[in-house]
Structure formats: structure tokens, C-alpha cells
Amino acid sequence: MKVAAGAVLFFLGFGFTQICWAQTTGSTNTAGAGASAGDARSAAVPAVSYVVFGATGQQEALVRSQIEIMRPAVLPLRVVFVPHWKYVDNTRIFHLRVPAGYNSALFTHLPSRTVFIDADRYLVESLGYWLAHELGHLVTNSADEHEADNAAREFRRRLKDSRNRGLH
């Protein structure tokens, strides 16, 4: 039992270290975004940027372009790509239950507005579809799957419109 308790503490510590690290990275990025706005007032404007952590350049570009198209009223604070083993640990740390029928490659930790993506299991083709669901949790600030899906409908419509425009 002693070993098990130690393991839990280790994983908790590891999880939060990662999140803190992401925040440090974020403040750097935010400063850059503010400077490019070139406006002294930007300091008073609420942060509209978020951090993508653990992603390849391609993954980050994909997430950012899709969130830009979906234009959620509430942005995540961070989107974190994690290897599968760590994703599984995080779902346990956050006491997450993934309901049957829902994708298990993404989940949102609402209190920290963090979207976790299983870097080994997500599919490029359906990332936007499921990201819409996670944004649904954020904009409704609800863990309810049906509320999240209802909110996701509008985001999925925007993604579809954008894809259709790309065909012309």
C-alpha cells in the first residue's frame, strides 16, 4: 500500500509540474502577442491567447487554425498533447470517466481550462470534431456531455463551412 500511495503522489506532482511549465511558456507567448498588437491598452485587455504544449509544429498549427475557425466565446487556457501513458494517468488523477460513445483521445479539465489530447491516439481527420466537443464543455462550463455536444454543434458547423469554402 505504501508503494501505491507513493506512486499517486509522484503522478500528481508530475502532472502539476507540467501544467506550471506550460504556464511559464504561456506568459512568454502572451507577451509576444501583446507586443505585436502595438497598443498600450493591450495590457488591460483580457488574455485571448492560450498555450499549446507538447505539440509538434504541425499539431499546434492544426489546433490553432481549428480553434480560430470555431471562435468559441471561451478559449482554453492551454491545450496539452501528452503521450498515451501520461494521458491515462491524467484521466485517473482527474477522476475522469469517459462515457461510452465519446471519444477518449481528448478530455477537458474544467477548473484549469486545460484540454488534454492523447498524442498517440487522436486522429487528424476527427480532431476538429472532438475539439468542438471539448470547447462545448468550456463555453457551457459544464461537465455534462449533452450540453457540451449541443454547444459543439455551432462549432462543427463553422468547421464545415470553412472546409466547404476551401473547396471553391
Interface residues with Zn ion (CB under 5 A) are 145, 148
Judged by CB, which is closer to Zn ion: 63, or 148? 148
Q: How far is CA 90 from CA 14, 86, 114, 115, in A?
A: 10, 6, 11, 11
Judged by CB, which is closer to Zn ion: 69, or 96? 96
For residues 81 and 115, give the distance between their C-alpha atoms in angstroms, rounded to a whole number.
Answer: 9
Q: How far is the CB of 102 from Zn ion (least distance, A)?
A: 6
Judged by CB, which is closer to Zn ion: 2, or 95? 95
Q: How far is the CB of 145 from Zn ion (least distance, A)?
A: 5
* Number of helical (H) and strand (E) elements in the chain, helices listed first: 5, 4
106 SS3 class? strand
Q: How far is the CB of 72 from Zn ion (least distance, A)?
A: 14
